[in-house]
Amino acid sequence: MGEISISFDHIKDKEKVCELSVVIYADSFFYGLWDDDDRLVKADSGHITELNAVYNEQVSSYDLKIARIMSTLKPFVHIPGAEYEEKYFDHYFSGIYQLDKVDSTGRESDTFLREDIRTLHYMDNEFIMNDGLTQFPVKTAHISTALANYAYLIESDYISYLAHNTLHISSSTQSKFQFYNQFECYHKKDYLYFYMLTLNALKLDPKKEIVNIGGLLTNDSPIYELLHAYIGDIRLRDNDVKIDEVNAEEKQFYFDLYLCKSCV
């Protein structure tokens, strides 16, 4: 996909800014500031090496009431909450990931909103407490936890998000979590392949299933047009996000920030 500029600054009264959302990717991050009317008033991105400085700048510049941080990275694993014991954290990844290749040392455990399921993942979070600047709650979660919670929120079973050459897919059945995974995609046919692969594996009819998509695409983009030829009901997300001076069809560009705000 081509690069789309989605940065903006609509802050008119910094006293109204009260919430920060940060989404972490492999080599970059995307962040947004929200006002006391739940309106997204600023969005910007940066290289992952700039995260510490940018985070501290937002914390010191605004009277934030909460910050939410969402990781999109591997490794991750889902286990029943009743089976979780913190002392065995690393063991749950045995046979799934080679932990000697994991750079992050921070161990995170998220809980699903409506089910006794935990997402275990690694996320460096030292920047959160730097210089004692954080005087407000900071919530963290993995994108798979947020997508599962979002499915409950909108009462839909198949949620997906695509950006940075990665497709994230989460599926539930009658509010029961079934599946989450992420796939690397470098051509538009890659996206189609993984959509069809997962729909078929979950025994879902591509022509009948509602497929929710958020990310850097519009209904006239080549990827959308290709998917629409095979998938009967595609719904771009999310029109619920409040943003001034942004077209309705472009609101899904900020789906990750809204997902972070609403489900972390």
For residue 128, pLDDT beyond 60 = yes
Rounded to two decimals, what is the model's pTM?
Answer: 0.93
Written as one letter, the residue type at 33 is L
Q: How far is CA 15 from CA 35, 61, 139, in A?
A: 9, 10, 22
For residue 226, pLDDT beyond 90 = yes
For residue 129, pLDDT beyond 90 = no
Handedness of CA 52, 5, 61, 263 (dihedral sign): negative
pLDDT of residue 38: 96
For residue 238, pLDDT beyond 90 = no
Span 149-165, mean pLDDT? 92
pLDDT in tens, 176-214: 899 999 999 999 999 999 999 999 999 999 999 999 999
| pLDDT category of residue 1 using cuts at 50, 70 and 90 | very low
pLDDT over 70, % of the chain = 95
Cα 136 to chain centroid distance, Å, stands at 22
What are the structural domain ranges in the chain?
8-74+123-263
| pLDDT category of residue 132 using cuts at 50, 70 and 90 | low
For residues 234 and 162, give the distance between their C-alpha atoms in angstroms, rounded to a whole number.
14
Span 253-261, mean pLDDT? 96
pLDDT of residue 181: 96
Instruction: Indicate the fold that domain 8-74+123-263 takes in CATH.
Output: Nucleotidyltransferase; domain 5 (3.30.420)
Edge-to-edge strands, sheet with 40-47: 8-9, 40-47, 28-35, 17-24, 66-71, 138-142
